[in-house]
Structure 1
Amino acid sequence: MLMAFGEPKFLETLAEKVENDEHSPLIKVNSTFVHFIVLQVLALLTAFICKSYYFIPTGKIAELILEYNLLFLIGTCFIYFLGFYIFMYSLFSTLAATFAILRLMKVYDVFLRTKK
Structure 2
Amino acid sequence: MDFFPNIKTQFQGTLKSWRIYWELYGGLKSIFSSTYFLIAMFFTLICFPVWWSGNDDWAWFNLCNSVLPNILGFTLGGYAILLAFGSSKFMELIAGKQSKEGEGDASPFMQINATFLHFIIVQVVALLVSVFSLVWDFRTGYMAFLGFLLFSYAISVSIAAAFAILRLSRWYDIFVSNNRE
Larger radius of gyration: 1
Tell me the distance in 2 between the aligned counterparts of 1:87 and 1:34: 16
What is residue 163 of structure 2 aligned with on the other side?
A: 99
| Superposition pairs of residues 1-116 of structure 1, within 5 angstroms | 1-19=81-99, 20-21=101-102, 22-54=105-137, 77-116=141-180
Tell me the distance in 2 between the aligned counterparts of 1:45 and 1:77: 17
* RMSD across aligned positions (CA): 1.8
Unaligned runs of at least 5 residues, structure 2 = 1-80
Q: Is the 8 A contact 1:33 1:97 kept in 2?
A: yes
Unaligned runs of at least 5 residues, structure 1 = 56-75
Percent identity (aligned) = 43
Tell me the distance in 2 between the aligned counterparts of 1:3 and 1:81: 35
Q: Which runs of 4+ in 1 moved over 6 A?
A: none
> What TM-score, normalized to structure 2?
0.50
Q: Is the 8 A contact 1:17 1:25 kept in 2?
A: no
Instruction: Report the Cα offset of residue 89 of structure 1.
Output: 1.1
Tell me the distance in 1 between the aligned counterparts of 2:85 and 2:113: 15
> What TM-score, normalized to structure 1?
0.77
Corresponding residue pairs, total: 97
